[in-house]
Structure 1
């Protein structure tokens, strides 16, 4: 897929326009985001992703269109799992509801910049070294095993090394000062909890990239599609946070479903590498139609089984 520089520039410019519109309409006046408002924005961002994917399908062909949609669905589903730690971080720092949208916006913008670096490095590795597929596949399989063992559960938030390092360098105010990240007291610069929580969100999302970037490279090796699928998934994540709310906690089997997806993509990467070395036959090199079908089926089954379990547990609680 040969993407001219002007297409890259136009795409990045369009994404920046979407972010600017979001800033002007939503974030110019801090307020509590309602479910209806969040639903409208989620529909808007999903529609933008669908239109973009349709454009890729028409201009570049169905193969790249399927790759984009498969990558987007994968990144979006992994983002849903990330929402839980975002909620824990927000609760830990006691972020006022009216400022939570700004925290997510700035944190996700930072994550998008950092992921762009990951994507560039990953694309360079894959272009030069076939063994990079083994590396990425191993990371995904290990992550899948860890999730199945329950090592990926987030019971409570513990500040990471980056957040602790920031606390040591700058004094932190006790209270929030609207959405300000820095204030001056007695001629000395202080940081507010707003800055600290943005650091926590940004650094947490960077860790999530360790799973998501290898996962999408298992679907497509086109840097343009990897970047845009990540961008659309991240941009819609903020509104999804407010829309889902407590529903995330009801997706009790989500981690199992994601573990299956990551394990499947990891195995696909390993098989692709073996195919490149002519160790396995062509029919073992899994195509993207199969990948899309597996991912959608696993997510649908996970959601239905989770909601059914919650319903059974609720009925049992009422009976007892």
Structure 2
């Protein structure tokens, strides 16, 4: 069954005149008549009664028109929408924890508000999990932190992220800066294996010959923030995760004298895929949000010296 046959049937149902329909659809009258005959033969029923040289919808034709007309209109509108170049489409994104929980939600909300014909789903996972899904094609685009070694994807740097050591103990923060070795025996709270934050922290401290006391491991940052209120606990985390707690003086940045924890947030795309206008628009929105949050982080980072 051809879509063109349905179009001709609907046109004849509205205007049962072969000459008018053929002129409107740029077909010959014989072509219109032939298409209608093929359509009826394929269905196995007559849709029009032939009265002399005229045609009129019969009861089955009227019923079919009732169902097909709105469906065809939806098809026509959908095709026009896709061809218009507007921001439309269904997008599957993935992001590692910091970005998925603390950056992307508001970005995607704002983007959806501006482009209501875009449907976006966001999946959270470790950097390795997100990269694997982008490589497999189950995600359109990913946003991650940490190193990406896969040769099946392309990456682009979005923004630098400087992790900070955080405590709820203001006295500990006031007496810094510290060499990292001096804090090794504190109760460190870190993410579980596979986390980019965990890998960056451990890699940097071990390069200093330090083995921190890992007190507890968690699958998410919210659990770390809850336990961090206990005395003697520390964590190394993106300031974006604790932005509101730093502002409320719940947590404090503990200055470290001999090591920095720097990484880049990365955009991940399949190596054979180019950014569509829609994906480009989302990417630019994420970059703008990261740039703005970095400026805010720099201005409001809570250390005792800055209070």
TM-score of the superposed pair, with normalisation by structure 1 = 0.20
Report which of the two has the higher share of strand: 2
Report which of the two has the higher share of helix: 1
